[in-house]
Amino acid sequence: MNFNNLNIIVDRRINGLSISATITIGDYMNWFLDHGLANKLEDQRPVMKSRTANMIRKRLVEDLKLGAVIPPIVIGFAIEDALNTIKDANINDILENNINNATIIDGMQRSEALREAIDSSPEISDNDLRLDIWITPNAISLIYRMLVLNTGQTPWDVKRQMEVVYKPLINECKSYVDGIRINTRNDGKRRSSGGEYRASDIVELFLAFSSRKVLINTAEKLADDFTRLDVTQMAGSQEYSHIFYECIKMLFRFDVAISKYEGQQEEQIEGDKINDGIGLFTNLPAKVGFVVALAQHILGRAGSMKSDEEQKELLQRTTEKFYPLCDKIDAFNQDELCNFLSLGVLNDSMKSLSVKKIGDDQRRFFEAGFNALFSSDCDIKDMEIVWRAY
């Protein structure tokens, strides 16, 4: 892809870059068909099919065939330490090497109109098209920029904005947490071992971590204005991305350690929901409770925020206490794991939860339990204190 008329503006708030460029419609359409559509998320805003939308797109297609210029299409990707890595001299190489990982942030409708126009009028392939390219040091910084840019408009909800940068967020998590396995919907894989998660769960864990609340409306908006404000505040600092990935690393480490417990068939009781180690974090409530408890412990409760220095100290202290606990679990045999996990107590406690909105109660249950774990500096002989905290 040949980028012309490059103009670079530094975004010092997120230590990223905003780059404007022109390319030919033909070059863009080749990228769009080969990579833009492939990078599109399943739940990303689809091409609108209403009668009004079709009429407007038809008008736009006719204008494009006559040589009309449309507003820039916005795409984005993440590069670690973007501000120090990218210089004017190597910007073309940076774009060429990373453009195939970019996701369309704004311009799916225009892209579809371009495709229709070029199909019927191939000669417009040589016409110029403007691109806005956002390059940030991490996916969370890109989310922050998108949130701020959408202020005052009719925005996508937070979930959709997360999904736009779905792939770089997941890729960062994979690179940060050695050994983690993250499956997308297209993979069609089910969790088969500790340390294996759905990509959509990682997205929700970030939202729960950001808001420091276990209950988030994923069915509709996923987040109200207070959550949106918290996410913006969280994503505006690179330090928070580090803390989030540290929390996922701790979840992964604990999950792998306890998943060695195979369960004891003769001790299972009808109605028990969790009978082995891998079962604890297979469903979302326990994962959300774990991550939210960590976020509250390190960052502070929702609506407040501890100082950066205090957060660093708490993160260091928590990891220094937590990982030795995981090491101790690693050394357990099956009987010792059985005694430590106390799954009988866990199942009995969960049976007392209200059947109405059971998922919400389970999230609160695990939040209270893991808060007890971290407030005790992980100094426990077994998990009974965790399961009885609610």
360 and 224 share a domain? yes
Q: What range does the domain containing 237 cover?
A: 171-387
Q: In this structure, is residue 237 part of a structural domain?
A: yes
pLDDT for 178 beyond 70: yes
CA dist., res. 209 & res. 290, Å (int): 10
Q: How confident is the model at residue 245 (pLDDT cuts 50, 70, 90)?
A: very high
Is 217 part of a structural domain of the chain? yes
For residue 132, the cross-strand partners are: 20, 74
Domain boundary among 117, 137, 157: 137
C-alpha dist (Å) from residue 293 to 193, 373, 386: 23, 9, 12
| Orientation angle between helical segments 225-235 and 139-149, nearest 10 degrees | 130
Tell me the backbone φ, ψ of residue 184, rounded to 5 degrees.
-90, 170
Whether residue 203 contacts residue 162, with contact meaning beta carbons closer than 8 Å, is answered with: yes
Q: Which two tokens stand for residue 36?
A: 């833009």
Antiparallel, parallel or unpaired: β 73-78 and 16-24: unpaired
Give backbone dihedrals phi and psi of 257, rounded to 5 degrees, phi first.
-65, -50
- Same structural domain, 214 and 355: yes
**Band (5; pLDDT cuts 50, 70, 90):** very high
Residue 129: partners with Cβ closer than 8 Å, 6 or more residues away: 22, 23, 24, 25, 28, 70, 73, 114
Q: Are residues 221 and 318 in the same domain?
A: yes
Query: Which backbone phi and psi does 5 adopt, to 5 degrees?
Result: 50, 45
How many domains does the chain divide into? 2
Same domain, 216 and 126: no
Q: What percent of the chain has pLDDT over 90?
A: 47
Asked, for residue 60, whether it belongs to a domain, the answer is yes
Q: What is the largest CA-CA distance in the chain?
A: 76
Whether the full predicted model's pTM is greater than 0.75, yes or no, is: no
Asked if residue 354 is part of any domain, the answer here is yes
CB contact at 8 A, 24 and 127 = yes
How would residue 248 be classed by pLDDT, with cut points 50, 70 and 90?
very high
Q: What is the mean pLDDT of the chain?
A: 84
**Residues 212, 274 within the same domain:** yes
The pLDDT, as a whole number, for residue 231 is: 57
What is the C-alpha separation between 151 and 170, in angstroms, rounded?
25
Among residues 18, 187, 225, 176, the alpha carbon closest in space to that of 105 is found at 18
Determine, yes or no, domain membership for 327.
yes
Q: Does 117 share its domain with 184?
A: no
Q: Which two tokens stand for residue 372?
A: 């007890």
pLDDT at 240: 77
